[in-house]
Amino acid sequence: MNDEATRRSLHAVAELVMAGPQYRRSGTIRLFVRPGGFGTVTAPDLRVDGLYLVAGDRRVPLAGRSAADLAAAVGVEAGAPEGLYHDGCGVKPDEPLDADPDAARWLARCWAAGDAALRQLAPDEQPILWPEHFDVAVSTGGATFGVCPGDHFFPEPYAYVTPPTPRGGPFWNAPFGAARLMRDLDDARPDTVLAFFIEGQQHAA
């Protein structure tokens, strides 16, 4: 599996094809976890299912296309939200995308497990997939809980807890708080992810 390339390509779709056009049309960058991937929360109505961009009845393959190609195919203009954050996917709109189906399924499984666990942890909160860092997260009790598909800290999907103030002790194994690889959480089982979040909640209190 080409995990890094897949993550980078899907991140580009989330940021350049979904969040940017959605922000310019509807004023929000928020995305939701969807079956098989993720999607917008309002117009334009777009989602990723595996390695396809879905718009209504249209299913556009991601493979070999750029974000600009995909955006044109569904009637939007590619581009990140402007002036809101400084990080992001680092992919240019005309850069060809490269994604592996097995890697895409694993990322979708991790997001789905995180989304399910977060809904149980904080039933009154809506988990949001943020296009900046591509993580699904909620904040509750002053702490932030989420699942990241991988970054410079861990190059693979992990669950994390970020307390309101720095904590000491063996539970807190990351500069931002605590992190556990999703493959070590029973290969992204929602109840195991939830157990980690609850443990983090207790340590953060």
Residue 147's pLDDT is 98
> The whole model's pTM is what?
0.96
Rounded Cα gap, residues 62 and 70, in angstroms: 7
Owning domain of residue 35? 3-100
Residue 129's pLDDT is 98
Residue type, 92: K
Question: What is the domain count for the chain?
Answer: 2
Q: Are residues 7 and 76 in the same domain?
A: yes
Q: Are residues 90 and 165 in the same domain?
A: no
Rounded Cα gap, residues 113 and 187, in angstroms: 10
Q: Tell me which of 46, 76, 100 is where a domain ends.
A: 100
Q: Tell me which of 70, 100, 130 is where a domain ends.
A: 100
Mean pLDDT of 42-62: 97
Query: Which are the contacts of 134, defined by CB distance < 8 A and separation ≥ 6?
Result: 7, 10, 11, 14, 15, 89, 148, 149
Q: Are residues 126 and 107 in the same domain?
A: yes
Q: Are residues 91 and 120 in the same domain?
A: no
Residue 74's pLDDT is 98
Q: Are residues 107 and 86 in the same domain?
A: no
Q: Are residues 91 and 106 in the same domain?
A: no
Tell me the per-residue pLDDT of 173-205, one tens digit each, with 9 for 90 and over: 999 999 999 999 999 999 999 999 999 999 998
Residue 2's pLDDT is 66
Q: Are residues 114 and 95 in the same domain?
A: no
Q: Tell me which of 100, 133, 166 is where a domain ends.
A: 100
For residue 144, what are the β-bridge partners?
139, 162
Q: Are residues 87 and 48 in the same domain?
A: yes
157 pLDDT band (50/70/90 cuts)? very high
Q: Are residues 94 and 13 in the same domain?
A: yes
Q: Are residues 25 and 110 in the same domain?
A: no
Rounded Cα gap, residues 146 and 154, in angstroms: 14
Q: Are residues 122 and 200 in the same domain?
A: yes
1 pLDDT band (50/70/90 cuts)? low
Tell me the per-residue pLDDT of 114-148, one tens digit each, with 9 for 90 and over: 999 999 999 999 999 999 999 999 999 999 999 99
CA angle at residue 44 from 90 to 122, to 5 degrees? 75
Tell me the per-residue pLDDT of 74-96, one tens digit each, with 9 for 90 and over: 999 999 999 899 889 999 999 99
